[in-house]
Amino acid sequence: MKNKPVSAGLLNSRTIRNLVIILLVLAVFFLGKQVDWLLTPVRQFFSIVGFPVILAGVLYYLMNPLVDRLERKYHVHRSLTITALFVIIFGLLIWGVVALIPTLRTQTLAIINDWPKYWQNASHEINQWLNDPNLSGIRDQLEQWNTDASKVLSSRVTKYLTSTVSSITTVVSTVTTIVIGLITMPFILFYLLKDGHRLPAYLAKFVPTKGRASFLQVLTEINTQVSNYIRGQLTVAFFVAVMFAIGYGLIGLKFALTLGIAAGILNLIPYLGSFLAMVPSVVIAMVISPWMLVKVLIVFVIEQTIEGRVISPLVLGSSLAIHPVTILIVLLAAGKIFGLMGVIFGIPGYAILKVLITHLFAWYQEQSGLYDTGPDD
């Protein structure tokens, strides 16, 4: 009896396939940076249409399940459901502007205005803790980091001050793009909800007949991956914001509502968002009292436990089937190359590439004949 070649077993293993996918994704990021001049027109185009299209796409994945369900189960016309949802959302926006925005505005301005005082007091508290001779090494290292950070911040401020005119122009351009995007987004969303379910069949017409089934399968898997990620992340972020806001409110921390909403928004960054959201909460708690700092940390531990043990498994589960180490690698690479947008869209982009590369690799396995394992003798 002949043994199967070891190389075939390795090549067929899931580990090797995942490593190949990671390397190909990193290669795409690297090549995209090298041909930056070639992608400039594409980037300019997406800077105009990207915001309304992405925002409409996110809302589409949130609203489309309800539209599909009402049409399929109760035979409610899609246009009627979409119009009703738009009216409900418009009403919620008005309620938010009237009820929440004033409170958020007051708390946000208070945090911004008092932040230098909070930071100075927190630094003073840390210095007192580090006055212990046993912590002299840590104190020297923190002082060096503080000096380096001050130099970097000073150089950045000087750079920005010398380009005030261009900065003002950029701000005006950004505000104009956002306003235009918010105006056009509802129209894009309406037609996505109305006709989006027909798009795969329409695109399949341009694919050769023999490949249409595989093409539709790829589109279905991509749609499933993206929809699971968007719905899951937004649902988890909502519960994180609620838990932090309630927790901070119960312990009497200032700006509980604003800090809770900020935690929910930052939680859209996988694995790192909640820790980033803790920075202002910890600084403010240190200024109030050591006991308040302890209570903030207790709230954080409880939130992380509930999120990790209950909410995330129920909402996200293993829908993306991406290992946490892979997620961190993608976040670091995408963030370094594409900045904030890479951090936000790196994971769904990786999920899409994973589907494409997996199907391409399966096709190559089938066509090449190099991975066939004959019957054992």
Q: Show me where the domains of the chain are located.
A: 14-135+173-368
pLDDT at position 283 is 85
Is the predicted pLDDT of residue 166 greater than 60, yes or no?
A: no
Write b or e for each residue in 206-242: b if 16 or more Cβ atoms lie within 10 A of its Cβ, otherwise e.
eeeeeebeebeebbebbbebbbbbbbbbbbbbebbbe
pLDDT at position 286 is 83
pLDDT tens readout for residues 327-340: 778 888 888 777 77
The rounded distance, in Å, linking the Cα atoms of 106 and 117 is: 17
More reliable by pLDDT, 117 or 160? 117
Is the predicted pLDDT of residue 61 greater than 90, yes or no?
A: yes
pLDDT tens readout for residues 289-343: 889 989 999 999 999 999 888 887 777 655 566 777 777 788 888 887 777 778 7
Q: What is the tally of helices (H) and strands (E) in the chain? A: 15, 0
The rounded distance, in Å, linking the Cα atoms of 82 and 66 is: 9
| pLDDT tier at 157, thresholds 50, 70, 90 | low
Q: What is the residue-averaged pLDDT of the chain? A: 79
Determine contact, residues 244/236, Cβ cutoff 8 Å. Answer: no
Determine contact, residues 259/280, Cβ cutoff 8 Å. Answer: yes
Nearest to 214 by CA among 349, 21, 356, 322: 356
- The pTM (predicted TM-score) of the whole model is 0.73
The rounded distance, in Å, linking the Cα atoms of 14 and 266 is: 32
